[in-house]
């Protein structure tokens, strides 16, 4: 079962804020009036001030609301952390990488309903993007943008063609990874140039590849994993609509046991 944290967080902010506001507007004045009347009844000889305690629920709401609101604003409009669950973006990203995603690069969107309210820019070819999987929007995917709206993207013989022009590739040598990474044995490392954006990818020369030509419709993007023969991407299920975009991945902030990866930028 997927944990819909944004919805839960938004709900928590709304409930805690409503409780705090209701108390401040209606209940708190009554408590102060009751305390004043109790003080008058106690007489001038009473040494201790008379107070009416705040309900525990109100105290919790008043304490948690600012914190929850700050977290909601931060992860909805600025930066959100994600954990990479698979190796589909190797060698750029590895399973277990914790990354940060810029949430405002492609526009400001309202949480939960994901409606864009301020347009700040569009994905560029080569961007590493997080998006909601079109076939199951409750699941987040991460891939690299290969095709922009209107592009004709082809994939033949392990090579990407953009509008008929092949992406330049430079052989870098056999892939050398962890000893237990048996699935990637025999892979080779390639430097690819996506019309000016250079990055590395992995190819298994003997592995089967889905081939074909795809035309990217307006308002959508064609995405692929850098681990080309181990990636479930646009070659299999189609394009990513603009409304499914979450943001652009830009930094690896943690990886347990791989300390050298901490702080690496994603490009």
Q: Encode the chain (267 residues) as per-residue pLDDT tens digits.
A: 356 777 888 889 999 999 989 888 888 888 888 777 776 766 555 545 555 678 889 889 889 999 999 988 888 889 999 999 999 999 999 999 999 999 999 999 988 888 889 999 999 999 999 999 999 998 999 999 999 999 999 999 999 999 999 999 999 999 987 644 666 778 999 999 998 999 999 999 888 889 999 999 999 999 999 999 999 999 999 999 999 999 999 999 999 888 889 999 999
Are 129 and 208 part of one and the same domain? yes
User: Has residue 70 been placed in a domain?
Assistant: yes
Q: What is the pLDDT of residue 1?
A: 39
**Which residues are designated catalytic?**
88, 143
Considering the entire predicted model, what is its pTM? 0.85
Are 146 and 97 part of one and the same domain? yes
Are 191 and 104 part of one and the same domain? yes
Say how many domains are in the chain: 2
Q: What is the CATH number of the domain that holds 200?
A: 2.10.109.10
Q: Which of 27, 57, 77 is the last residue of a domain?
A: 77
Task: For residues 131 and 54, give the distance between their C-alpha atoms in angstroms, rounded to a whole number.
Answer: 44
Are 112 and 240 part of one and the same domain? yes
Are 106 and 218 part of one and the same domain? yes
Q: What is the pLDDT of residue 32?
A: 81
User: Has residue 224 been placed in a domain?
Assistant: yes
Are 101 and 223 part of one and the same domain? yes
Are 9 and 89 part of one and the same domain? no
Q: Which of 42, 77, 112 is the last residue of a domain?
A: 77
Are 90 and 155 part of one and the same domain? yes
Cα end-to-end span (Å), the chain: 32
Print the SS3 string covering 115-180.
CEEECCCCCCCCCEEEEECCCCCCCEEEEEEEECCCCEEEEECCEEEECCEECEEEEEEECCCCCC
Q: Which of 42, 62, 77 is the last residue of a domain?
A: 77
Are 154 and 22 part of one and the same domain? no
Are 64 and 95 part of one and the same domain? no
List the domain range (segments joined by +) for residue 57: 5-77
User: Has residue 267 been placed in a domain?
Assistant: no
HSE-up of residue 66 (Cα within 13 Å, Cβ side): 3
Q: What is the pLDDT of residue 123?
A: 97
User: Has residue 197 been placed in a domain?
Assistant: yes
């Amino acid at each position: 079962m997927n944990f819909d944290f944004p919805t839960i967080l938004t709900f928590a902010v709304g409930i805690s804020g409503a409780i705090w506001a209701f108390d401040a507007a209606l209940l708190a004045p009554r408590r102060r009036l009751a305390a004043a009347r109790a003080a008058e009844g106690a007489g001038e000889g009473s040494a201790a001030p008379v107070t009416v305690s705040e309900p525990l629920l109100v105290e919790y709401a008043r304490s948690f609301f600012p914190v929850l609101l700050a977290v909601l604003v931060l992860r909805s409009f600025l930066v959100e952390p994600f954990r990479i669950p698979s190796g589909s973006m190797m060698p750029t990203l590895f399973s277990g990488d914790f990354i940060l995603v810029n949430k405002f690069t492609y526009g400001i969107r309202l949480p939960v309903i994901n409606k864009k309210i301020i347009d700040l820019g569009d994905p560029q070819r080569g961007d590493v993007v997080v998006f909601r999987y079109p076939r199951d929007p409750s699941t987040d995917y991460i891939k690299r943008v290969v095709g922009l709206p209107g592009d004709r993207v082809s994939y033949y013989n392990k090579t990407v063609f953009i509008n008929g022009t092949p992406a330049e590739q430079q052989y870098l040598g056999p892939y050398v990874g962890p000893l237990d990474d048996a699935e990637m044995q025999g892979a080779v490392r390639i430097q690819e140039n996506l019309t000016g954006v250079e990055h590395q990818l992995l190819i298994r020369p003997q592995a089967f590849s889905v081939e074909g030509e795809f035309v990217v419709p307006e308002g959508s993007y064609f995405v692929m994993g850098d681990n080309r023969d181990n990636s479930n991407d646009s070659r299999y299920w189609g394009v990513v609509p603009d409304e499914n975009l979450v943001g652009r991945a830009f930094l690896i902030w943690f990886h347990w046991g791989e300390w050298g990866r901490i702080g690496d930028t994603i490009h």
